[in-house]
């Protein structure tokens, strides 16, 4: 290979690297701008994220819920964390657009048409998962954890007083009081929001794999038992150690798995019809042997 051939082959690579650098810089600037915007309103965002624990404390008899921080810098860095998560959420459309502009020139028209809907569906599904976690799962988890401290104390007092409910409620010994730290309480909320937001991406991921030929409806049906074990493991790792939230996450994610099978089957059906229309397949031929009539 001559020197001129090497230079010709290296020129496109340099152009792609320059394009990548430009896209990364624009995405980073969008993230920084989003982070600054969120930091300006970080305190109201924190109040919104702490609503589930506030309602749980009020429901358990605390008329004036109070959260505390024990280090001078703790509250500031809590706002920074909120700003980073919020900035990523705000800037995600810009980041996704920059990614799309970098990848799109290398895609065919049909590949662009196939990829673009998932680019729109992904943030919507993440928001749906985050909203489900914030309004349903986090309140259940907070109620379980905060109420759990009262139950053993009451049962112990009930046993000590021979089953007398009046005596047990009038003399319960040392009161166990929840003095919540802002960063620790927020950590549970953010983990649940991120976990459910990511889990709601399952239909997007599996459908994209189906379009790329990396997953089939028949294969997903055949791995249901392994999917159940995997989902149960994920539910045990990312949720608090109570059965209620783990069961909710399992039911939701497994439902999304079944929806993904239907979507992949629909992709397979559409691709088979296109190949038949193009004359690649005969009318009695099917590109995917695992396609059931119930999914067509």
CA 273 from centroid of its chain's CA atoms: 34
pLDDT of residue 241: 64
Residue 279, sorted as left (phi over 0), alpha (psi -120 to 50) or beta, turns out to be left
Among residues 102, 92, 104, the alpha carbon closest in space to that of 31 is found at 92
Q: Is residue 244 pLDDT above 80, yes or no?
A: no
Burial class of 262 by CB neighbour count within 10 A (0 to 12, 13 to 18, 19+): middle
Would you place residue 33 in the very low, low, confident or very high pLDDT band (cuts 50, 70, 90)? very high
pTM over 0.75: no
Burial of 44 (0-12, 13-18, 19+ CB in 10 A): exposed
Q: What is the largest CA-CA distance in the chain?
A: 97
pLDDT score, position 168: 39
Q: Which residue has the tokens 């396609």?
A: 291
23-32, 72-81, 110-119, 262-271: least confident range: 110-119
Distances (CA, A) of 48 to 33, 92, 135: 21, 21, 11
HSE of 64, CA atoms in CB hemisphere, 13 A: 0
HSE-CB at 61 with a 13 A cutoff on CA atoms is 5
157 Cβ contact partners less than 8 Å away, ≥ 6 residues apart:
167, 168, 169, 171, 172, 173
Task: Give the residue-averaged pLDDT of 155-179.
Answer: 48
Q: Which helix (H) or strand (E) holds 148?
A: helix 138-160
Range with top average pLDDT, 161-170, 263-272, 275-284: 263-272
Q: DSSP secondary-structure letter at 280?
A: S
Given this model, what pLDDT does residue 40 score?
92
């Amino acid at each position: 290979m001559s020197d001129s051939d090497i230079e010709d082959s290296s020129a496109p690579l340099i152009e792609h690297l320059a394009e990548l650098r430009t896209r990364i810089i624009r995405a980073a600037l969008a993230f920084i701008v989003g982070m600054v915007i969120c930091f300006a309103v970080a305190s109201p965002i924190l109040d919104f994220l702490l609503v589930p624990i506030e309602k749980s404390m009020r429901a358990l008899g605390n008329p004036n819920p109070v959260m505390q921080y024990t280090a001078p810098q703790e509250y500031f860095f809590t706002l920074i964390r909120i700003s980073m998560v919020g900035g990523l959420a705000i800037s995600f459309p810009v980041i996704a657009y920059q990614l799309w502009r970098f990848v799109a020139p290398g895609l065919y028209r049909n590949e662009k048409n196939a990829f673009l809907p998932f680019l729109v569906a992904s943030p919507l599904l993440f928001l749906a998962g985050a909203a489900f976690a914030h309004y349903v799962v986090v309140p259940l988890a907070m109620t379980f954890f905060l109420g759990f401290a009262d139950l053993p104390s009451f049962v112990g007092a009930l046993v000590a007083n021979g089953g007398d409910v009046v005596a047990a409620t009038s003399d319960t010994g040392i009161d166990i009081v929840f003095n919540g730290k802002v960063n620790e309480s927020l950590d549970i909320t953010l983990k649940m929001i991120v976990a459910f937001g990511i889990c709601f991406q399952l239909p997007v991921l599996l459908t994209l794999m189906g379009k790329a030929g990396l997953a089939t409806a028949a294969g997903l049906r055949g791995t249901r038992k392994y999917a159940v074990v995997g989902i149960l493991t994920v539910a045990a790792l990312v949720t608090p150690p109570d059965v209620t939230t783990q069961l909710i996450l399992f039911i939701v994610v497994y439902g999304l798995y079944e929806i993904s099978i239907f979507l992949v089957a629909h992709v397979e059906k559409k691709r088979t019809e296109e190949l038949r229309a193009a004359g690649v397949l005969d009318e009695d031929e099917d590109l995917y042997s695992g396609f059931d009539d119930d999914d067509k």
